[in-house]
Amino acid sequence: MADLLNSEYPNWGLAGNQAVIPFGVGLGASTVVRYIADPQGPPNLAGQILPAQIIGSSLMFLNLRDMRRKNLTLPSWADWNDYATLLSVEVIKAGLGVFVCPQLALWHDCSHKGDTSKQEQPSTETLAYLRRILKNSMITTPTGAINLGSEFSGSDQRLDLEMASLRAAAIGRPRKTVAVVVRTRFTRPKSYLNRTISTAKALAAAAGDSTNFEIYIVTDKKSSPLAEYDGLLADIKIIEFEVPEVDDSRYHLVKHAATGIKADYFWFIDDDDWVFPNEAERLALAINAVPDESLIFLDCRHFYETPGPCGNEAAGKIKAGKTFFAKTFIMSLSGKNETPFCGVIYPHSLFLSIPEQCYKTVVYYEDFMSTMYALLMGRYLPVAVDKLFAGISIRPSGNTVTETNRRNWMYANSVVTSHLVNMPGGSQMMSLPLSALLNSLPSTSLSLRFRTMTLPLRRLAIKMGIPHYALLRIYSKTKNVFIRIASALSNRKNT
């Protein structure tokens, strides 16, 4: 076990068999990992070592050599109720990684009286101590949440537990490479491509050293009009591919990019979309710390655009639309695409596994085809980094998603379906009933959906002058009712 951790995660300091991790994993996108059933819940993962924030107390594997080297100590008052949380925090504070490992799986038959699924509140001393160390207002343990009530200021030197755990886990790991691929024919106004490239560059610059984001433009246009872009593309790798004479070459370009570019992962961004660099380091660290060939889902959102003046179309009015949440990716198995292309970072090997015929016949739904193929293979670990990373431009004209004639979309859906149901060696995941898919959604996802659904009503209430405190009270009560109803419906058997 020690040799495996030393090889895969050289900076490890503590490992357990149950933990809270800094992103969602598995088909349920859970942030709590259990390899076997315990008093807090059923198993939800198998076979993967993952970076963690706080481990459970039933079994702990300690790297005593490095703990001593870091002079790590625990507060004198730490007792059985607090020591797993305190030890996890102290290990991360010392700059060492905390991990959850299936090799440490242990049956824990809890014999305590009362409800063992509830979080025991830490002692007053522990709460005060954690507030001094952590800037987080709340932390989660395998048995529940601890409210710290910390207030954050810009000069705060305390730890962000999620980010600190990711930074420690990535130390000593090989650097990963993500190819950020923009497919274009240079037919749209250049201000859109300028926005795509400039925001991708900002994300690459802010990502840090754990993962390298390399930007590529791939095209089937015979001569690229580089001079028109005022030097913006001077340091961008532009690759021209020969593809068949077709109206829509986007999936052909995906295949050629995968065969012609060397990278661990691929992230496809359309030439009128953009990325948000705010959480670039978090994304880079997560990519580095997860097992090789993970399938990484991100939040992305539609933005309705009214183009600006000629030459500066990307500076027009923008209104937020539908958000595609990383944690609800599993709903794609219901038959409707829940994750746009820019909302997934795919492992390189996936595009080398997709049959040649798919690239030749699938148009419009290349994102749905790729994601479903990856999920049904059962080879890739789903990882959900639930921060907003991509914006999708929706305009009255100029993009396929707003086409009023849906014939092409319906035909594309039938082609994708044909490929998937005839997929060689495909898994039986498509047999999951809809109720099982709904049941996999965490309450946080239901809360996010309610927030999105009620946004127009909340804006109207503000315009009408309804006091904020009254609006908040109504919103909180109706949200709780919505979550209870949605949870109850998801628990009904599929009939």
Q: Which sequence spans correspond to the domains of the chain?
A: 2-170, 176-431, 434-491
Among the listed ranges 40-44, 121-125, 241-245, 487-491, which one has the minimum average pLDDT value? 487-491
Cα angle vertex 130, ends 127, 134, to 5°? 140
Residue at 286: amino acid letter: A
**CA end-to-end distance (rounded Å), the chain:** 46
Confidence of residue 149 (pLDDT cuts 50, 70, 90): confident
Confidence of residue 308 (pLDDT cuts 50, 70, 90): confident
On whether the 176-431 domain is CATH 3.30.450.20, my answer is no
Between helices 124-133 and 83-93, what is the axis angle to 10°? 20
Among the listed ranges 172-176, 410-414, 430-434, which one has the minimum average pLDDT value? 430-434
Q: Is 2-170's fold the same as 176-431's?
A: yes
Q: How far is CA 43 from the centre of its chain?
A: 21
Distance from C-alpha of 340 to C-alpha of 301, rounded to nearest angstrom: 9
- β-partners of residue 218 are 183, 239
State yes or no: pLDDT of 190 exceeds 80: yes
Which of the residue ranges 139-143, 175-179, 393-397 has the most confident prediction, judged by mean pLDDT?
A: 175-179
Query: Among residues 325, 440, 418, which one has the least CA distance to residue 373?
Result: 418
Of residues 426 and 111, the one with the higher pLDDT is 426
Query: Running DSSP on this structure, what letter comes out for residue 316?
Result: S
Q: Which residue has the tokens 């063992």?
A: 116
Query: 495: which residues sit within 8 A by CB, 6+ positions away?
Result: none
Cα angle vertex 483, ends 481, 489, to 5°? 105
Question: What token pair was written down for 204?
Answer: 């690459």
According to DSSP H, which parts of 38-123 are helical? Answer: 64-69, 83-93
Q: What is the mean pLDDT of residues 318-335?
A: 88
Rounded to the nearest integer, the mean pLDDT of the chain is 84
Half-sphere exposure of 93 (CA within 13 A, CB side): 19
Query: 486: which residues sit within 8 A by CB, 6+ positions away?
Result: 438, 446
State yes or no: pLDDT of 114 exceeds 50: no
Distance from C-alpha of 299 to C-alpha of 418, rounded to nearest angstrom: 28
Q: What is the mean pLDDT of residues 438-456?
A: 58
Among the listed ranges 124-133, 229-238, 263-272, 414-423, which one has the minimum average pLDDT value? 229-238
Q: How far is CA 277 from the centre of its chain?
A: 14
Contact (CB, 8 A) for 55 and 163 = no
Confidence of residue 495 (pLDDT cuts 50, 70, 90): very low
Query: 43: which residues sit within 8 A by CB, 6+ positions away?
Result: 34, 35, 36, 37
Among the listed ranges 73-87, 164-178, 201-215, 362-376, which one has the minimum average pLDDT value? 73-87
C-beta neighbour count of 436 within 10 angstroms: 15
Q: 2-170 has which fold?
A: Spore Coat Polysaccharide Biosynthesis Protein SpsA; Chain A (3.90.550)
